[in-house]
Amino acid sequence: MAGTLIVFDFDKTIIDCDSDNWVFDHLGGTKRFDELLLTLPWNTAMDKIMGEFHEQGISIEDVKAILNKAPLSLHIISAIKSAYALGCELRIVSDANLVFIETILKHHGLLDYFSEINTNPSYVDNEGRLRIFPCHNFTTSSHGCGLGTCPPNMCKGVVIERIKKSMLKEGKQRIIYLGDGKGDYCPSLKLSERDQMMPRRNYPVWDLICSKQHVLSAQIHDWADAEELERVLLRLINSNSTSVQLISTDATCHAAVPVTTHEPLLKVLNVTN
């Protein structure tokens, strides 16, 4: 399976929550964050509220302790370790931020399984205050995606295009992409017929795929929870799937069971395994 590259979203895919919401909800900052969003974009509001938490005496260690309690299923841990053991390369493309992602992965002993993390840059400054910035500085220019489903600070489709350009010389033959959110729709359109898209069922990316299914070239294999994610992912790794027809009804969208045979603006963390 050395020719397989697996790309994970982070929030609501690896962890079963939104990491930003998890932190400010547990620190009693939900109402304040909603106020900040009235005048500030998401990343700027996150940077601002982390500064306010710091002024209140909440340390980065307090924040990390909360992050370490974020829900991460044993099935996800097993899926990551199994995929790695089978020779797959694992990467993350996420609209969370680097400190949050690193903290959670380190806590669960998973950081070294990933060769690259593409996300919003963040760091702890000399005063111990967490700074968070957008992946793409949208105040000076647009990232150029006109699809309408990508936030201004990050187009995951741009990341996947970069990854695909380097795949051949790296010996990679296919991508398996897992995600749940609206921002995961654009990268799904960049996948080819030999790739697999694993959208989380009844989440925004699933709804978009169901409404515009004819646009995707990739095979589609949905999942609803961590246990199903593990089962579907390992089946795809271990098999050569034929193309999958997506069947939509008025109420739900069903993926047929596959038949098996016997760039500088992006914040990237390179991990040495």
Query: Distance between CA atoms of 117 and 192, rounded to whole angstroms?
Result: 22
20 is in an annotated binding site: yes
* Catalytic member of 9, 184, 195, 222: 9
* 9 catalytically annotated: yes
* Catalytic member of 11, 47, 184, 195: 11
180 is in an annotated binding site: yes
* 195 catalytically annotated: no
225 is in an annotated binding site: no
18 is in an annotated binding site: no
3-state secondary structure the chain: CCCEEEEECCECCCECCCHHHHHHHHCCCHHHHHHHCCCCCHHHHHHHHHHHHHHCCCCHHHHHHHHCCCCCCHHHHHHHHHHHHCCCEEEEEEEEEHHHHHHHHHHCCCHHHEEEEEEECEEECCCCCEEECCCCCCCCCCCCCCCCCCCCCCCHHHHHHHHHHHHCCCCCCEEEEEECCHHHHHHHHCCCCCCEEEEECCCHHHHHHHHCHHHCCCEECCECCHHHHHHHHHHHHCCEECCCCEEECCCCEEECCCCEECCCCCEEEECCC
- The residues, ordered by sequence, that sit 6+ positions from 251 with a Cβ below 8 Å of its Cβ are none
Q: Is 192 exposed, middle or buried (0-12, 13-18, 19+ CB in 10 A)?
A: exposed
In DSSP terms, which residues pair with 197 in a beta bridge?
177, 220
9 is in an annotated binding site: yes
- State the binding site for substrate: 20, 95
- State the binding site for Mg(2+): 9, 11, 180
List, by residue number, the catalytic residues: 9, 11
- State the binding site: 9, 11, 20, 95, 180
